[in-house]
Amino acid sequence: MASKKIRTLKPGDGISHEEAMERRRHYTDEDARKLGYPNVHVLHLEDRLGQIAGQWRRTKDDQLVSKYRETLYEMILNGYNVYPAASGPAPQRTDAGPTAARRPRSHPAGLRKIRLC
């Protein structure tokens, strides 16, 4: 059997971030649903959320935290599912140590509650 030749991607092979964002601006609701979003408005809000997060990483500006919350809240109001259905059963703890008797969390493990208001 002949081995497949693997081609290494080079920087010029893809499109720039700006080009990708411009294409996404013209997506329809159908395009957004194919990507797993309820509608194109939520897709654009998620893009905005990423921009806010990037700005915050550079500046640590507290005003960006409130912008992030507001944007996330708007996403939720427009159909964004904060807790998507799991693809399989939840992992089970294997140890029966002292932490096994703790009260179960009211939210998925690893996720913190977000105060939206």
What are the domain boundaries of the chain? Answer: 16-81
The structure tokens listed for 18 are: 């700006």
Q: If you search the block for the tokens 């509650």, which residue do you land on? A: 113
With a CB cutoff of 8 Å and minimum separation 6, the contacts of 42 are 32, 75, 78, 79, 80
Residue 14 pLDDT class (50, 70, 90 cuts) = confident
Q: What predicted TM-score, i.e. pTM, was given to this entire model?
A: 0.60
Mean pLDDT of 79-100: 62
